[in-house]
Amino acid sequence: MSMQRVVVLGSGFAGLETAYTLAARLTDEQTHVTVVSDRDDFLFKPNTIYLPFGAAEAPLHIPTERPLARRHIKRHIATVEGIDAAQGTVHTSRGLPLHYDHLVIATGAAMRPQEVPGLAEHAHQVWTPGQLHRLGEALRRVATNASHGRGQKVLFLVPPGNKCAGPLYELVFMLDTWLREREVRHHVDIAFSTFEQTYIQAFGPRLHDVVTGEFADRGIAGRTGAAVDKVADRQVLFTDGQEQEYDLLVTFPPYTAAVRYDGLAADDRGFLTCDNSTRAVVGHPEIFAPGDAGDFPVKQAFLAFLQADAVADAISAQILGTAPGAGFEPTSMCVMEMFDKATFAQVPLTVTGDPAAPVIVDGDKPDDYRVGVSPIWRLGKKALGLYLPLRFRRGLPFHSGMPWRAMDVALRVGARTLAH
């Protein structure tokens, strides 16, 4: 068997998990893996939610040079300019094209606030560390004004086209707790509006009920089914004619593919159309798109890991001539930070094909659907925040080895005892 060339585009959750899993499963004689990225580090994005409240950014950046070299994975720092699927090549900003036998497209998603008039000009976004630092400055101004008795209105907004607003829910709860600790919450009106018909719609009624109850207990004015039409200075206008005023507007904009690939099947936002089980791009069994670059409707780190594992399994099976495993089975696990406590959700998902509700809770797996609220879940979030960076610093995949098995057991025991 000749050595197979695997090129991975992107150094985020899906890209590195795929590369490290392949390196763990295959020998140097069987495969040569190259990771192409326009950056030299991995950003642990889930913990950027702490940046507005004073957390340090540096620990969230994990250099990739040594971990990749340790696993004999070549690093190619460049911008992806396109692929030629017929020739099996990737064109980058650095010199000659890269040839591949198997291609993994994990270039992720980007934000497109321009879809909503005025959103880019007037709202604070929560996508990059820089944006979250600027949000922190704005929140400190809100707290200062409130401490002087000047009333403030903070509005959190989820527009159509957003693919995972979980971090925005975390931020609204964290802000409530943060303001209460500073004894200025009574001078700040907090509101939350989403275009979805329920809160965190894809994750079903149990998480919606938790959010609804928390909003009521915390005095947060929540609203669902509210599609934004346009944003003006200190005012949001909705398609149903209603208006909402704000002093500070915080939003998670519409998603789009970070890179568009001519000649490959994709939806109207550029997300590559994939076989749901293997994440192979339709019409190209040698090309895969795990994580945010693909068309799975929910964009989330844990789901990206599961897709990357399925891709690594499919590529390994092709190279070794063995039968592939079960493939991608979408069960999300997430911990929603609130500062005073946290919410855990384990949600089996199924794709519907309905644009209004493209993903729903899988009714065939009722025992796997669990949601719980407890201060103890904050420890779980901290543990995950330590475990994942440690694995990637060592060039090891997230879902492997004794550490992951211990973490998985702890999460499942917690789900049975602290969730229902």
Total-model pTM: 0.96
Is residue 147 within 8 A of residue 284, CB to CB? The reply is: no
Is residue 147 within 8 A of residue 189, CB to CB? The reply is: no
Closest by CA position to 344, among listed 355, 332, 356 = 332
What is residue 107's predicted lDDT score, i.e. its pLDDT? Answer: 98
Is residue 243 within 8 A of residue 236, CB to CB? The reply is: yes
What angle is formed at CA 245 by the lines to CA 244 and CA 246, rounded to 5 degrees?
125
Per residue of the chain (420 residues), what is the pLDDT tens digit? 589 999 999 999 999 999 999 999 999 999 999 999 999 999 999 999 999 999 999 999 999 999 999 999 999 999 999 999 999 999 999 988 999 999 999 999 999 999 999 999 999 999 999 999 999 999 999 999 999 999 999 999 999 999 999 999 999 999 999 999 999 999 999 999 999 999 999 999 999 999 999 999 999 999 999 999 999 999 999 999 999 999 999 999 999 999 999 999 999 999 999 999 999 999 999 999 999 999 999 999 999 999 999 999 999 999 999 998 899 999 999 999 999 999 999 999 999 989 999 999 999 999 999 999 999 999 989 988 898 899 999 999 988 777 778 877 877 777 788 888
Delineate the domains of the chain, giving CATH numbers in brackets.
Answer: 4-108+258-335+344-418 (3.50.50.60), 113-253 (3.50.50.60)
What is residue 1's predicted lDDT score, i.e. its pLDDT? Answer: 59
What is the CB neighbour count within 10 angstroms for residue 93? 11
- How far apart CA 378 and CA 156 sit, in angstroms, is 23
First and final C-alpha spacing in the chain: 50
In the block, which residue shows the tokens 């497209």? 105
- How far apart CA 418 and CA 344 sit, in angstroms, is 9
What is residue 415's predicted lDDT score, i.e. its pLDDT? Answer: 78
What is residue 399's predicted lDDT score, i.e. its pLDDT? Answer: 81
Q: Give the gyration radius of the chain's Cα atoms.
A: 22
- How far apart CA 116 and CA 255 sit, in angstroms, is 12
| Maximum pairwise Cα distance, the chain | 74
